[in-house]
Structure 1
């Protein structure tokens, strides 16, 4: 059975529509930009519904809860590895950007509650280091998100566009 993850893609309209994406943490991704970003997401636990998992994972990865607003399922997107990511879209007011409740941050490494992962670094060194799963989150244009998201998540942006949401 395929591994399933669930995530939340925040978006807002207005004169400058944007989506919120997160840069993957750790040394492997540190100097990468293209295809090094993700929708905040994580594994759906056995018996857990995707909405609950998506909200839990958003809070764990970004360190703040996703806004409690209606979510629309954009689809289940299969990676080449076989992993499936269910992406939920949540439209937020544009004035969330820059407010105290804004989940975007140039440095998530110091935000309390951000989940971490332990990896061997450098590879085959035997040395285990801890890094945040994502190290920053930012609002970006839809076109920029298509260039920066991991390839398996780009169709989520297209699915959002197909729903008639203005980009």
Structure 2
């Protein structure tokens, strides 16, 4: 008995989208397709029929994908807010550095903490890089959760008959 591989069932993004739309996931991220192929492309499903394997995969994705999108959107909203805060400070500093003879505009009574515009600009760029690293890790974590939910499809056990099949 041969078990189909992921890249046999979904050789193209079109085939992937065809299955996704059949299961009501019309806006499936094309990134998810590539991540599934990277992670599981050469793995064999535990189901002997390609249709059953695809059906099981998209049943899982129809539950997990909306949760993934919701978490990703929430993280994106927080990222955008934090990015705006950094941009506000950076614009103030950039304007001050461009015109050093004028007093910097600020909404507090304390002066902006800069001696050298470039030094502070570098600090802001470091903050931006740290923010991007932080959210890249968050997005990766959510993607890992999504991909891990598919792991049970590749264990080599046929759930319907409870038989174990060994293959290379």
TM > 0.5: no
Q: Larger % of strand: which?
A: 1
Q: Which has the higher contact order (CA 8 A, sep 6+)?
A: 1
Larger Rg: 2
> Normalising by the residue count of structure 2, what TM-score does the alignment of the two structures yield?
0.22
